[in-house]
Amino acid sequence: MAQKVVLCGAGFLGSNIARAISSANNLNALRRVQISSRNPHKVYAQLKETLPRDHLLPPVPVDVTREETLAQAFENADAVVSLVGILQGSPAQFEAIQWKGAENIARAAAAVGAKLVHISAIGADPHSKIPYARTKALGEEAVRSHCPNATIIRPSLVFGPGDGLFNRFAQLSRYLPVLPVFGKGDTRFQPVYVGDVGRLVEILTRKNAVNDADGKIIEAGGPDVLTFRQIMTLVVVHTGRFRPIISVPWKLGELQGEIMQRLPPNVFTITRDQIEQLKLDNVTTSHSHIDFKGFMEAHSYRLTPVHDVLPHYLR
């Protein structure tokens, strides 16, 4: 009998997880992926062009803030991957989606006995003043209360073709004569390739798979640790647009965030909270129960350095 894996959330990461699961399919262990989100049809149409027909189930729209919409989507699910999250919004929106929405998914997954993989973020902190980081942590706590065996993945910044990281800075380099970094540009990041996160989820959702990650946290960072300035340097090198990289005082960045968050979203949009997050390193810590690199190597998989991928899509 084919395994049903529900990806609760669409977009960049969800579509790549779907591809990772599909690429690992074989005749003896068929897995079928279902995309469920508010508007899953666009991602479904894109996947339908590239994935085998029998690997993809029809999409089922859901609203994670309304638990009653999840029952039909999760029916007969063997595994559920919770990908819900937003980058911008009011404190109430962050709570409704990243905290209560995550809890609704966990409760619905538990009701059908599905294995749950929950995507959180490095820096999740229940005591943070930043709504994004605080509600990510509260969402984790809610998930554990309903699904104690859920695996929680905390990725660093995720990159790859179609990302909102390197691609966004590349867009900025088209319009700006300089590329700004805040402070000294020495905040550290550990970008993780989207294909590596996809493969991790593929491993964790295998039917009847028993592994040490059940009930654990995996902080997923790539093999490269880069400063904000180094990331901008890579953008300059691989786009071929030579722009000076200048330091912008934090106070000026905070003022920019205060103004930009009140305007319609665009390529220049940054919020005050995102400025605050940029002050904090985004790298793996001792809070990870499982070593990401070691876990992947145990499954014969090597993590992908930035330089292996970036030149192929950024230029």
pLDDT along the chain (315 residues), means of 10: 90 95 81 96 94 94 96 96 94 97 98 97 96 98 98 97 93 93 96 98 86 92 98 95 95 91 85 94 92 95 97 87
User: Is 242 inside any structural domain?
Assistant: no
The predicted pLDDT at position 51 comes to 94
Pairing of strands 226-227, 188-189: antiparallel
**56 within domain boundaries:** yes
In total, how many domains does the chain have?
Answer: 1
The pLDDT of residue 305 is 98
Report the CATH number that the domain containing residue 38 is assigned in CATH. 3.40.50.720
Counting every residue written for the chain, the total comes to: 315
Over the range 65-95, which residues count as b (16 or more CB within 10 Å of their CB) and which as e?
eebebbeebbeebbbbbbbbbeeebeeeebb
Locate 121 and state its tokens: 């973020």
pLDDT in tens, 47-103: 999 999 899 999 999 999 999 999 999 999 999 999 999 999 999 999 999 999 999
Can you give the pLDDT at residue 288?
A: 87
> What are the b/e assignments for 240-277, b being 16+ CB within 10 Å?
eeebebeeeeeeebeebbeebbeeeeeeeebbbbbbbb
Partners of 120 in the beta sheet?
none
Residue recorded with tokens 């229940």:
126
Which pLDDT does position 157 carry in this prediction? 96
What was the pLDDT predicted at 28? Answer: 63
- What local confidence, expressed as pLDDT, does residue 287 receive? 85
118 is a domain residue: yes
Structural domain contains residue 287: yes
Q: Name the residue among 117, 99, 100 with its Cα closest to residue 20.
A: 117
In a domain? residue 12: yes
pLDDT at 205: 95
Rounded CA separation 102/135 (Å): 10
- In this prediction, residue 111 carries a pLDDT of 97
Q: Specify the 3-state DSSP secondary structure of 182.
A: strand
* Rounded-to-integer distance, Cα 270 and Cα 254, Å: 9
Residue 207, C-beta contacts closer than 8 angstroms, at least 6 positions apart = 3, 29, 31, 78, 79
Give residue 15's domain range.
3-159+191-222+283-304
Residue appearing with tokens 């070691």: 294
Q: Give the closest residue to 29 by CA, choosing from 72, 76, 78.
A: 78
Within-domain flag for 174: no
> Comparing C-alpha atoms, which of 141, 227, 157, 147 is closest to residue 197?
157
> Is residue 243 domain-resident?
no
